[in-house]
Chain A
Amino acid sequence: MKCLIYSRIEEMPWIEECFNRTNPYLLRIVNKPHLEFFIDFCSTLQISEIRIVSNTATNELNSYFKDGKKWGVEISYNIARPEDSLKRVVLKNFSFCREEDTLIISDYFFLEYDVNSMKEMSGEIIDYLKTTKNKYLQILEKGASIKDIEEDNLFIDNKYLSVKKLSSVTDYFDLSMDILENKCCHYVLPGYSSEPRTYLGMNVTYPKSVNIDSPVMIGNNVRIGEMGEIGKNSIIGDNVIIGSLTNISNSIIYSESFVGSDLEINNKIIYHNKLISGKTGDVIIMDDDYLLSGINKERKISKVKRMLHIITALIQIVVQTIPFLLISPFLLILHKKYNLTQKYYLSKDKKVKRMFSIDNARKHPFIRFIKKFSLDKYPYLFYVISGRLLLVGNKLFTMTNKHKEIMVNLPSYNPGVYSYWESLNQGFSSEEEIHELYYINNNRFWTNVYIYCKINFLRLFW
């Protein structure tokens, strides 16, 4: 049997409010991504192949689940359009579904099951799913028509399975606490378990003065300060630092969070600098980094790379200073006629700067001449030295509504004096978003060297 999981991401305001842009299917429930529970479920039913279909990019899911070998299954990925119905998704993956019976899981919910009873009763569960169609969970039998797929959420009445809706942060909190307190043996949970209902990850360090009570779950790379108290029903994620004298109970400390010293945390969820009430769902954002903050794992442009950009810009400045000084009187004359300035976006927070631009006079023979020797780049090089631009980066967007829209949609915007878009030398401005997204995802050191050399070469010889 195979399984098709349609991880449809619709607007879930509570996830966005509490967990920023976390992919709902990677939201950790008792330190385990939501989708992993489905994969475990499939694995227990002896399903060998899983296709994960998402209506957003699957790269995050792909980088976590990879080819599925870790779970003893083969995982492949596909994408669907946001507006696709379940039937349409199955049609688009029909060559995957038509060869064998296929379990179809769709919609955002938590599936409650007991892995121990499932091992014995898998035949009964499969028979039940074949006869009872439900949008959440159903089996499309080999040779069956797509028309047989149920698109309504009906009640699942089975003693081995139940569906739990996750429609608010309090649902999420209650579910996590319920699993840790009562159902931890129903699932395969991460960490070593030296005693019942106690799960410890790797590289957990705490002094002898720390007191830990079960049920408790602590992830990998966790550091707890002196005299700390990790009380009952505490779920602590990966890469967490907890300050000394802090008392935690009935709470979830999400991965990559820092909790300060001497704090009392009860019935709360901590997500980076967000303090969320597990009982009411109220969210407070803490501005004081000494109390709560995120442990930033985002990859930033390294200092070495930035230094390379600055050194190359300095060399170019040295080479171009005298030629630029010689042509500057002519540029001043042209500026009076064509206005050789334009407003550009320097960062994603819409910081704008009026800068030199040859766009208004690009067909003028003199501008063509200075472009040939890349002298038009000279004024921008000082912005590289001041750290406001990169030497090679995203296209420097002009202050227009079209560019504003593209910039907002980009995952990151680090404009450069030279850009991938310019290196394409196509002379048209359509599909800019596609080119910028492509560049962001292929932004490597040698790509940037290639872009820099290609643009200067093309300008000189074409």
Chain B
Amino acid sequence: MELNFEMRDNVGVLKVSGRLDAYNSSEFKESFTKYSEQTVNFVLDLSSLDFLDSTGLGSIVACLKAISERDGDIRVANMSEKPRMVFEITRAYKIFEIFDDVDVAVMSYEVD
């Protein structure tokens, strides 16, 4: 798993590449906690995410719960087919806002 973080218009854009599963979900949570010191509004760019399992998704949900307590949000963008299927079968789409473009997802914070 590779994480690339950048700030855009006060929104943290976190690009996740590779695999997010049981073996690196704790690493993801730790990195996210570190990035959340800079902002509470995030966009997860999942365009390069090849594999996501329930533990990986569980770690994203745990991050959402933590950031929601600080009135923040995690929005998901650019999801490829396989992660989208995991979001669907686990009904995670009910708790995440899913956009098809990172720029629009960043802009959506302004719209709100």
Contact = CB atoms under 8 A, between A and B. Distances in A.
Interface of A: 57-59, 77-82, 91-96, 420, 424, 426, 430-431, 433-435, 437-441
Contact of B91 (A96, A437, A439): A437
A434 B54 CA distance: 6
Interface in B51-84: 53-55, 57-58, 61-62, 84
16 contacts: A79-B87, A81-B93, A81-B96, A82-B94, A92-B98, A95-B104, A424-B22, A426-B22, A430-B62, A431-B61, A431-B62, A438-B54, A438-B57, A438-B90, A440-B89, A441-B89
Please indicate which of the listed interface residues A82, A93, A96 has the most CB atoms of chain B within 10 Å of its own CB: A93
B35 interface: no
A92 B99 contact: yes
Given A91-B108, A424-B55, A435-B58, A79 B89 contact: no
Contacts of A430: 58, 62
Contacts of B54: 420, 424, 431, 434-435, 437-439
A95 B61 contact: no
A26 to B, nearest CB: 16
Contacts of B89: 57, 59, 437-438, 440-441
Main secondary structure of the interface of A (DSSP, over half): helix
A80 B90 contact: no
Contacts of A420: 54
Interface of B: 22, 53-55, 57-58, 61-62, 84-94, 96-101, 104, 108, 111
Main secondary structure of the interface of B (DSSP, over half): helix
Contacts of B91: 57, 433, 437
A92 B94 contact: no
Contacts of B101: 94-95
Contacts of A439: 54
A79 B87 CA distance: 9
B58 A79 contact: no
A440 B91 CA distance: 13
A82 B98 CA distance: 12
Contacts of A81: 93-94, 96-97
Top-9 shortest CB links A-B: A438-B54, A95-B101, A431-B58, A79-B93, A441-B89, A57-B88, A434-B90, A437-B90, A435-B54
B100 A92 contact: yes
Contact of A58 (B62, B88, B92): B88
A92 B98 CA distance: 7
A426 B97 contact: no
Contacts of B96: 81
A77 B98 CA distance: 12
Contacts of B58: 430-431, 434-435
A91 B104 contact: yes
Contacts of A424: 22, 54-55
Contacts of A58: 88
A81 B86 CA distance: 15
